[in-house]
A and B are shown apart, each in its own frame.
Chain A
Amino acid sequence: MENESLKNMAIKELLLHLADDDFIHAYRGSEWLGLAPHIEEDVASSSIAQDTMGHAAIFYQLLEEIGEGTADRLAHDRPANERRNAIILEAANGPGHYMKDPDYDWAFAVVRNYFYTQAKAIKIQSLQSSSYEPLAEVAQKVQMELYYHLMHWKLWFVQLLGSDHEEAVSKMKAAIEKTLPNFAGVFSLGQYGEEMVEQGLIEGEATLRKKWIEAITPVFESVGLVTTFEMGMAKGDGRNGVHTEDLETALETLSEVYASDKAASW
Chain B
Amino acid sequence: MSTVLINSDEIYKLLEDVKDPEIDTVSILDLGMVEEVTVSGPDVSVKMLPTFLGCPALPIIQKNVETAVKQLPTVRNVSVTFLRCPSWTSDRITEKGKAGLKVFGISPPPRQMKKDGSWHIDCPYCESKYVTMENIFGPTACRSILYCKACKNPFEAMKPMIKMI
Contacts and interface: CB of A to CB of B under 8 A. Distances in A.
A140 B163 CA distance: 8
Contacts of B87: 140-141, 144
B134 interface: yes
Interface residues of B, number: 26
A215 interface: no
Instruction: Choose among B53, B84, B145, B161 the residue with the greatest number of A CB atoms under 10 Å from its CB.
Output: B53
Contacts of A47: 137-138, 140-141
A229 interface: no
Nearest to B162: A144
Please report whether the interface of chain A is mostly helix, strand, loop or mixed according to DSSP. Answer: helix
Contacts of B50: 141
A50 B84 contact: no
A205 interface: no
A44 B84 contact: no
B53 A145 contact: yes
Contact of B54 (A40, A44, A57, A137): A57
Contacts of A144: 87, 89, 161-163, 165
A124 interface: no
Given A137-B85, A140-B87, A144-B163, A54 B54 contact: yes
Interface string B78-90: 0000001101110
Interface of B: 50, 52-56, 84-85, 87-89, 117, 134-141, 145, 159, 161-163, 165
Interface of A: 40, 43-44, 47-48, 50-55, 57-58, 134, 137-138, 140-145, 147-148, 151-152
